[in-house]
Each structure stands twice: as structure tokens, then as C-alpha cells.
Amino acid sequence: MAILISPTPRAGAISAAAMLSTWLDAGELAVLGVATGSSPSSLYEELVRGGHPFLSELTVFALDEYLGLPPGHSESYRSVINREIAIPFHLDQSRVHVPGEGAPEAYEAAIVEHFGVDVQLLGIGSNGHIGFNEPGSRFDSRTRQVALAESTRVANARFFNSLGEVPTHAVTQGIGTILDARRLLVLAFGATKASAVAAALEGPLTEDLPASALRDHSDVTWILDTAAAERLSPAALQVDFERSSHPRTVGGAS
């Protein structure tokens, strides 16, 4: 596991884009698992700014999608992915997969048909969710319908006109599905994520904190800003909270 602490979210996005570009150059990234929300949006901008020639050859699988929004709603994750990824990356629509548009089993099968996800991008909820796997989700869960935690609906109300408009349910890749990806890149910025980040990296492995499951993965990089990292212990970083743009390897974690 590696932890990269960047001075700002934008610097974190630039570092993440550089990592993805390296993997694209090396032929190690053809299938990208994409997250929506605030955390990865600057990363997508940086990738487009970099103009990597292979961007349009990516196949993308979304983590999750709301249920119950009218077709074409601007905040459906299909719409967000079109706006932030498919159009700017010049992706053919056949390369863009979003759950909830068919059976969950068919979504899992489509991932397998593409030989799995090479790099899965993740944000983290302030309650520790990944995808829409809310606290209590099993670590071996697969793509399925879920109810959103009230705190998630409140957090995401900023994208809607009112809390009442935020869907109550969603379809999400399961934690087991996420852990099947060959590499994980987790982005967390801001003080509202600090407790969840510390619990995920240093607390118990527990279904109460879904992101703690990421410690079971053999290739995960956390990209944090200083605010999101502020509750990590010096031991976790193996440094005395020195701010650094170099990745820190957390000893003992796999």
C-alpha cells in the first residue's frame, strides 16, 4: 500500500493523472473503473489536459448509479460520466458501462468479458463507504441494489435542488467486485474525509467501515491532501508527518 500526500487536491489530481498516464504508456491500463462525485473530477480534467493518445481507447466501468432519476437527469451518473469522461476522452458509447441499466449479474459478466478492471478509481464517503457500499456491506458483496445511507443523501444533496430530489436507492459494484480490480487508486481530499481515511487505514477491518476492506488488496494507492491525512498517525506514515510529494509505503499492510 502506498500513501501519497499532496499539498492540495489539484496536486493530488495531477499525481493521479501521471500514474494513469504511466500505466497507459506501459500497456497496463485498458479498462478503467471510474468513480463520480467531486474527488476524481480534477483527475479527469488533468488527463484530458495531458492529451494522452490512448484515452479514447479506454473502456470504462462505472462504480455505481442512482435508481429512480428521470432518464437523462443531469445528475445521473450516466450523465456525469458522459460530461466528465466520455465526451472529453472521445470515448465511443460502446466503451462506457454503467450499472443499473441491466441485471447486476450482466454487469459483472461484462467486466469479466473485458478481462477485469485494470485500475479502479475510488472516492470515499465520510461514513467510509466505497462505491455505494454503505456501512454494513459485506466484504464479498457483488453488484446489487442498495439503499443509500441518509448521511450519503445529505452529502450528495449539493448536486441536487433539494434533499428530497436525492434518490434513496442505487446500484453499486460490491466490495468484492471492487477488490477484483488489479489496481486501486483512492482519492480523498478535505477535512470531512479525515476520520474515514484514518479509520480505513488504521482502524479495525470491519464491515462498519467499508473502506477498511481495501487493506485486503495487494496494490492500492491512496492519494490524499494534507487535510484528509490529518488524522493519520505518524506510525501509519512512518514519518513524523513530514509533508511530502513522494509516496510513503505503509509497513506491514498488504
Comparing CA positions, the residue from 191, 193, 213 lying closest to residue 203 is: 213
Q: Tell me whether residue 55 or residue 186 sits nearer to ligand F6R (CB atom).
A: 186
Query: Binding to ligand F6R by residue 64, rule CB under 6 A?
Result: yes
Smallest separation (angstroms) from ligand F6R to the CB of 24: 22
Smallest separation (angstroms) from ligand F6R to the CB of 122: 6
Smallest separation (angstroms) from ligand F6R to the CB of 132: 6
Q: Which three cell numbers stand for residue 127?
A: 461514513
Q: What's at 212, amino acid-wise?
A: S
Please give the C-alpha separations between residue 220 and each of 151, 170, 176, in angstroms, as whole numbers.
Answer: 26, 25, 15
Q: In what order do the strands lie in the sheet with 169-172?
A: 64-66, 169-172, 144-147
Q: Tell me whether residue 135 or residue 239 sits nearer to ligand F6R (CB atom).
A: 135
Stretch that binds ligand F6R, among 9-17, 19-27, 119-127, 233-241 (CB under 6 A): 119-127
Smallest separation (angstroms) from ligand F6R to the CB of 16: 13
Query: Binding to ligand F6R by residue 79, rule CB under 6 A?
Result: no
Stretch that binds ligand F6R, among 25-33, 35-43, 95-103, 205-213 (CB under 6 A): 35-43
* Of positions 4, 19, 63, 213, contacts ligand F6R by CB under 6 A: 63
SS3 of the chain: helix, strand, coil, percent, to 5: 40, 20, 45
Q: Are residues 190 and 227 in contact, defined by beta-carbon separation less than 8 angstroms? A: yes
Query: Binding to ligand F6R by residue 36, rule CB under 6 A?
Result: yes
Cα separation, 66 vs 78, in Å, equals 9
Query: Binding to ligand F6R by residue 125, rule CB under 6 A?
Result: yes
Distinct helix (H) and strand (E) counts, the chain: 9, 11
Q: Are residues 58 and 30 in contact, defined by beta-carbon separation less than 8 angstroms? A: yes
Stretch that binds ligand F6R, among 5-13, 68-76, 121-129, 208-216 (CB under 6 A): 121-129
Query: Binding to ligand F6R by residue 129, rule CB under 6 A?
Result: yes
Residues in the chain: 254
Give the CB-nearest residue to ligand F6R. Answer: 123
Cα separation, 245 vs 3, in Å, equals 10
Q: Facing residues of 66 across strands? A: 170
Q: How large is the greatest C-alpha to C-alpha distance in the chain, in angstroms? A: 50
Query: Binding to ligand F6R by residue 123, rule CB under 6 A?
Result: yes
Stretch that binds ligand F6R, among 16-24, 33-41, 201-209, 246-254 (CB under 6 A): 33-41
* Of positions 2, 10, 38, 247, contacts ligand F6R by CB under 6 A: 38
Please give the residue ranges that form the binding site for ligand F6R (CB under 6 A).
35-39, 63-64, 123-125, 129-132
